Amino acid sequence: MAIKVLKFGGTSVADSTAMRKVFEIISSNREDKQIVVLSACAGITDKLLKLSETALSQDNEYLQILEKIENHHLKLIVELFRDSEKSASCIKSVNFLLQSLKKLIEGVKILEEITPKIKAEILSYGELLSTNIFYQYVLSRGLNSFLLDSREIIETDNYHLNAKPNFEKIQQNGEKLKKLLQNYPIVITQGFIGNWKKETTVLGRGGSDLSASLFGYSVNADEILIWTDVDGIMTTDPRLVPNAKVIEKITVDEVAELSFFGAKVLHPDTIKPALAKNIPVKVLNTFNPNGIGTTIYQNNGITFESKVSSMLLIEDCFYLRRQVTKDSRDFSYYLNLLKSNFEKLFKFSFNDNTILAIVKSPKGSDTLNLLEQEEFLNQKVDAIALFGLNIPNIDKEEKSKLDYITDRISEFLESKLFFVVSDYSAILLLQPNKGKEVIEFVHSILFD
């Protein structure tokens, strides 16, 4: 029997309608052993974060947030279970979790201190709640399954809020999981949560994708399916361009680049553990389960066409330039300056005595003053990032499309140049706040 890992993201477990869809997907597959990895219900991790941030304040805002979290899950239970006895037992276990969450917050208030360890513990409740409810729902629908605490498998380092996996231990723990799968066709577990020496850790925001990959890694799964709320990895964010198309096959390098530039679709580094073991990874839509989805593969240097495969709008960037003379500071000084003052450094190059950089999200309020002091010219820009294989050697037909785009939108452009960023990406700079106006046009030329 094949082992499959199925990961369902926040919107796929957001409410009772979504959870029923997840159940249909799982129950329609009786041939495979299934490890079902769930995120917290959409919006709950944000609320837990807020809860941990307000826990130290004097007012009682935390009680209102707790109430919202409680109401969300109780409503979910009432809608899912028609049988009042089953819903009562589910409410009991959920109340138990909510009580321990409340005790944690009250502990923070008494101690007047919140450590990363406690914060991670608080954040873990979203996944603990969603998996607990879904497990009981699956049982109530007559499917044999086991609820596994992900901390038994996913061991990490001690960076509690952004923990890195301990691959060796995870591989060893995979044996336990394989044994469980001999007795149960379905194992339900949490994404996002791990442990370091029995202390709860979390893998960073959006970390459930990584969890799925790690579970797959631990048991040498046959396939990993990332179920989300869009039809796969698409030519651009379909929320921005409704005409976006599904990319049937994409290389892991392009996906990593997309994630690095900020596309929300997959957590960076997510799929690497799986691909290292040649486990195929697919992205599918919970709300359109018969769609073809996207297969992610490792291209291992095989020859390829050089075309743009996807694009991303990045708003509120800065385009920086600085003349560098012989007596200027060392080039690496400026690189470090930008790296430590911005969340993202998309491009940094040096040509004709000019440093050129494209950055996003200043880390501090005086970063822009600092740039002025350091004599950088800075312009606010929107950017469209283009992704594909072998971007520096884009083929002729594609190049002429790009030229056509720059001609047509020249009044929106900050610079006529496409800045090649890496083998997999290039950036087109637009005047600030113009991105949304042109993205559909650029998309239509490249993909329609």
Cβ neighbours of residue 138 under 8 Å, at least 6 residues apart?
23, 26, 145, 186, 188
Task: Find the binding residues for ligand ASP in span 85-144 (CB under 6 A).
Answer: 126
> Nearer Cβ to Mg ion, position 9 or 293?
9
Least distance (Å) between residue 233 CB and Mg ion: 12
Least distance (Å) between residue 339 CB and ligand ADP: 25
Task: Find the binding residues for ligand ASP in span 17-46 (CB under 6 A).
Answer: 39-40, 45
Q: Does 150 bind ligand ADP (CB under 6 A)?
A: no
> Nearer Cβ to ligand ADP, position 107 or 262?
262
> Nearer Cβ to ligand ADP, position 234 or 427?
234
Q: Does 425 bind ligand ADP (CB under 6 A)?
A: no
Exactly one of 191, 232, 268, 293 binds ligand ASP (CB under 6 A); that residue is 191
> Nearer Cβ to ligand ADP, position 103 or 239?
239
> Nearer Cβ to ligand ASP, position 206 or 293?
206
Q: Does 232 bind ligand ASP (CB under 6 A)?
A: no
Least distance (Å) between residue 41 CB and ligand ASP: 9
From the list 117-125, 143-151, 165-173, 222-230, the region that binds ligand ADP by CB under 6 A is 222-230
Exactly one of 38, 40, 154, 233 binds ligand ADP (CB under 6 A); that residue is 233
Exactly one of 126, 174, 191, 206 binds Mg ion (CB under 5 A); that residue is 206
Q: Does 10 bind ligand ASP (CB under 6 A)?
A: yes
> Nearer Cβ to ligand ADP, position 166 or 425?
425
Least distance (Å) between residue 149 CB and ligand ASP: 16
**Where on the chain is the footprint of ligand ADP (CB under 6 A)?**
9-12, 39, 206, 228-230, 233-234, 236-237, 239, 263-265, 310
Give contact residues for ligand ASP (rule: CB under 6 A).
Answer: 9-10, 39-40, 45, 126, 191-192, 205-208
